[in-house]
Amino acid sequence: MQVNEEDRISPQSDEKSGSNIAFIAIAVIALLAASSYFYFTSDDSEEFDPVVITPVELPEALPATPIEQTPIEEPQQIESNIDDVVPTGELETNNETVVVEPLPALTESDDFVETKTLAIANGMNIAPMILKKDIARQFVVFVDNLAQGELVRKASPLKGL
């Protein structure tokens, strides 16, 4: 005949579940202690090669007599006449006269600056991004603010910045 648990006078409890939790807790604490020990006591310094000190050779002593030098000639001032000055708007190089296009007034410079900007853009399609009003003023304010370390988007000569 088999004995049931209910038939026994004193019921026996299962002690395995409690001992497993205690064993896991002890193992975790031991791992944390070992890892912290190795972390805090590890030698982080790298091994460096010893520094080899080489003696410095000093140059020879200065000569007793100074070195002779040729005197520097003073530049001669050239007197110029008003006839020698090139008129405004023309540059003269090797007997060739190059006519320089006069710059427009600042209030009328938007088209001029836009065409020059597109010419410099080297084929990039930036025409829709360029502002159509006060381009030169916006550019000057933008560069001035940028030089002071600020990026002011409202002063950008391009849309979308």
Q: What is the pLDDT along the chain (161 residues), one digit of tens a residue?
A: 565 666 656 555 555 556 788 889 999 999 999 999 888 886 656 566 777 888 888 777 777 787 788 888 877 776 666 555 555 555 555 667 778 878 888 888 888 888 888 888 887 888 888 888 888 888 888 888 888 888 877 777 777 75
Residue 48, both tokens: 């460096």
Q: What six digits make up the tokens of 19?
A: 């001992």
CB 129 within 8 A of CB 159: yes
Q: How far apart are CA 60 and CA 58, in angstroms?
A: 7
Task: Please tell me the pTM assigned to this model.
Answer: 0.37
- Residue 84 pLDDT: 57
Distance CA 116, CA 142 (A): 18
Domain ranges for the chain: 106-155
